[in-house]
Amino acid sequence: MVGSRKLSNEEVEALLGGLEADKKKPSTATFDPNEVREFKFGSEDLSLLGDYYALRLINEKIARSVRSVFLPMLRVLPRISSFPPEVKSFDEYTESSDTFASITNSRIEELRGNCLVVVQAPFISHLTNSYYGGSKVQSLFENQGEFTATENRIIEIISEGMLSSMSLAWKDLVETRFDVVTREENIQLISFVDGDDTVIVCSFMVQMPQHDPVSFDIVYPLQTLKPISSQLRSRVQNEYAVDDRTWKERLQNAVLSIPLTLSAELGRPKTTLGKLWKSKVGDTFTMPIPENVLIKVAGQSVFRADVGKVGPNAAVSMKNRVKDNRKKDG
C-alpha cells in the first residue's frame, strides 16, 4: 500500500503495554436497563421537517382561502382556524377518526405522492341542509353508512374548491396541482399508505354562528413531503415577509371587493285610502318618472342617474354623485 510502513518493535511493545494496563483497571461503568430506548430500524426521522414552519403558514393560507368555498352554502362567512401539524402513524390517525366521513384522495403530481382531505359527515349534512334553504343543523343517524346523491354533489363542489385553495396556498413554495383520484366514505377502507407509515395531519376547525364547531383534516404522507423538507424548514418566506404597505394594500383590496346592491328609486306614486281600498287586480297607478332618479346603496343616496335601456335590459346611467350621502332621502 502506498505510504504505509511497518511498526517497529518498540512501537508494537508500547501498544501491547497499553492494552495490558487497560485490562488491569477495574471498570466503573454501570448499566441501567431503564436508560435503553427501543430503536425501530427503518423508522422515519421526524426532525426532517423541523418545526413545520412553512407548513403552518400554508395551513393559515388554506384556512383563509377555503372560507369562500363554504360561504355560498352556509350563507355566512365561517371562522376557520388551523392547528399545528401533528405527526402520527396512519393507524393512529384512522383509530382516532370517525369511520364515516367524506374522504377525497388526491394526487400531488409534482411531489409524486397523494394526500387526503377528510371532512366530518355532520359538516356535509349541515352544508347540504343550509345550501337548500334549511335553517337548522340536521344531525346524521349514527348508523348511516353512505351519503345521499344530494350530499355527494355537495362533496364534489366543496372538494374542487378546497383543492383549488390548497393549490393557491402551496404555489409560493411549490407550484403544484391537486387532482382527485378517488372519493371514499370509510376511512378504514381507503387505499392510501401502510398502517405503520408516518403521516402529517393538518386539522382545521370551522366555527359558525349558533352552531357547534366542526372540523376537517388534510393528511400528507411524510414520504411525500421529504423532497421539499429543506423548504418546509425554512423560516424565510418572501410572500409572508410583508410590510405595512403590503398589508394596507391587501386590506384595501378586501374592502373594495365587498359586494353591494344598488337600487334605483323610479318614483313614489300617491293615492288615497279610498282608492287603495277599492283597487283590484288590473288597476294601475300613474307614476311620473323624474328626470334624475336616485341610486341608493344600503338606503343611502349616492348617485343621480338617467333611466334607459341596454339591449333588452333596463339600465341607469350615472350623472353625478350626491354630495351629502349621509342623509337618507325621505
Q: Is residue 9 part of a domain?
A: no
Q: Is residue 12 part of a domain?
A: no
Q: Same domain, yes or no, for 295 and 202?
A: no
Q: Same domain, yes or no, for 270 and 252?
A: no
Q: Same domain, yes or no, for 170 and 301?
A: no
Q: Same domain, yes or no, for 69 and 193?
A: yes
Q: Same domain, yes or no, for 205 and 305?
A: no
Q: Is 264 left (phi over 0), alpha (psi -120 to 50) or beta?
A: beta
Specify which of 125-139, 221-235, 239-253 reaches the highest per-range mean pLDDT: 221-235
Locus of grid cell 396556498: 169
Does position 313 have pLDDT exceeding 70, yes or no?
yes
Q: Is residue 13 part of a domain?
A: no
pLDDT for the residue 2: 47
What is the C-alpha to C-alpha distance for residues 61 and 33, in angstroms, rounded to an integer? 47
Q: What is the pLDDT averaged over residues 184-206?
A: 88
Q: What is the pLDDT averaged over residues 314-329?
A: 69
Q: What is the CATH number of the domain that holds 116?
A: 3.40.1550.10
Q: Same domain, yes or no, for 148 and 82?
A: yes
Q: Same domain, yes or no, for 134 and 102?
A: yes
Q: What is the mean pLDDT of the chain?
A: 78
Q: Give the number of domains in the chain.
A: 2
**Which CB contacts under 8 angstroms, 24+ apart, belong to 67-73?**
68/161, 68/165, 69/158, 69/161, 69/162, 69/165, 70/127, 70/158, 70/206, 72/131, 73/127, 73/128, 73/130, 73/131, 73/154, 73/157, 73/158
Does position 239 have pLDDT exceeding 50, yes or no?
no
Q: Is residue 303 part of a domain?
A: yes
Does position 138 have pLDDT exceeding 60, yes or no?
no
Q: Do 62 and 163 form a contact (C-beta atoms < 8 A)?
A: no
- Whole-number percent of the chain with pLDDT over 90: 19
**What predicted TM-score, i.e. pTM, was given to this entire model?**
0.57
What is the C-alpha to C-alpha distance for residues 70 and 60, in angstroms, rounded to an integer? 16
Q: Same domain, yes or no, for 186 and 111?
A: yes
More confident residue, 283 or 45: 283
Q: Same domain, yes or no, for 62 and 158?
A: yes
| Cβ within 8 Å of residue 224, ≥6 positions away | 108, 111, 112, 113, 114, 115
Q: Is residue 181 part of a domain?
A: yes
pLDDT tens, residue by residue, 87-118: 999 999 988 888 889 999 999 988 888 999 99
| 3-class secondary-structure state, position 264 | strand
Q: Same domain, yes or no, for 240 and 316?
A: no
pLDDT tens, residue by residue, 156-179: 999 999 999 999 999 888 888 899
Q: Same domain, yes or no, for 204 and 225?
A: yes
Q: Do 167 and 177 form a contact (C-beta atoms < 8 A)?
A: yes
pLDDT for the residue 59: 92
Domain boundaries, position 160 = 46-256
Locus of grid cell 353508512: 145
Q: Same domain, yes or no, for 156 and 57?
A: yes
pLDDT tens, residue by residue, 22-74: 555 555 556 566 666 554 544 454 555 556 788 888 999 999 999 989 988 88
Q: Is residue 162 part of a domain?
A: yes
